[in-house]
A and B are shown apart, each in its own frame.
Chain A
Amino acid sequence: GAVVSQHPSWVICKSGTSVKIECRSLDFQATTMFWYRQFPKQSLMLMATSNEGSKATYEQGVEKDKFLINHASLTLSTLTVTSAHPEDSSFYICSATRQGRFQPQHFGDGTRLSIL
């Protein structure tokens, strides 16, 4: 299989707090991981592409200084939402893909972030 673990599942915190989300590929090495965000009743929107050992590539409109991504190993990528505010409340989902052409992305269980 291709198992992607994401932690934590739920986060509720005060405005101004920084929140770190981990994404791990458990049974395969993922040179590339992706971070998505999903607001209620909407589809997933790609935030950034995370490549092991290099800087992440952010989609237009996503603030790189607010959403810090680190991909330090072939099995772990982290997303840190810095100084979170209520408008950052969303469902954050990571995915990972094996190396090779036409490989599908496998998603973690997601992190529901609520900023009070």
Chain B
Amino acid sequence: QKEVEQNSGPLSVPEGAIASLNCTYSDRGSQSFFWYRQYSGKSPELIMFIYSNGDKEDGRFTAQLNKASQYVSLLIRDSQPSDSATYLCAVNLRGGADGLTFGKGTHLIIQP
């Protein structure tokens, strides 16, 4: 059974600091990994995706993937109050042809 685990939080981070969100997955054959941001009552919004081991940076966001440890993380630099949301980690088994398996999300609070 495919599982994606996240700490539900809330994770509280001061404004301007780095927020670090973590995710582990159970299926070693997983091909691609996604971070979505979801505001209350809204649908998920794609932040980043990664499919190769290592780091991928996009503006204030960095995704990190370690397939050997089955671990993926998201770093948010210079955190802003508008970053306060639930961050969903999602995993895809076949690199696009399958639906996503989501974690339960981490609730992030950026304190002004």
Contact = CB atoms under 8 A, between A and B. Distances in A.
A102 B32 contact: yes
A106 B43 CA distance: 10
Interface string B88-112: 1000000111111111110000000
B46 A102 contact: no
Residue among A59, A101, A104 with the most chain B CB within 10 A?
A: A104
A67 interface: no
Nearest to B103: A43
A46 B101 contact: yes
Nearest to A41: B104
Interface residues of B, number: 24
A80 to B, nearest CB: 19
Interface in A16-69: 32, 34, 36, 42-46, 49, 59
B99 A49 contact: yes
B48 to A, nearest CB: 9
A105 interface: yes
Interface in B11-40: 31-32, 34, 36
A103 B99 contact: no
Interface residues of A, number: 26
A93 interface: yes
A77 interface: no
A34 B100 CA distance: 9
Contacts of A34: 99-100
B67 to A, nearest CB: 14
A104 B42 contact: no
A109 interface: yes
B98 A49 contact: yes
Nearest to A94: B43
Given A49-B98, A102-B32, A107-B46, 18 more contacts: A43-B102, A43-B103, A43-B104, A43-B105, A44-B88, A44-B102, A46-B99, A46-B100, A46-B101, A97-B96, A101-B95, A102-B31, A102-B51, A104-B34, A105-B46, A108-B43, A109-B42, A110-B43
Report, nearest first, the 5 A-B pairs whose CB atoms are least far apart: A46-B99, A110-B43, A43-B102, A43-B104, A107-B43
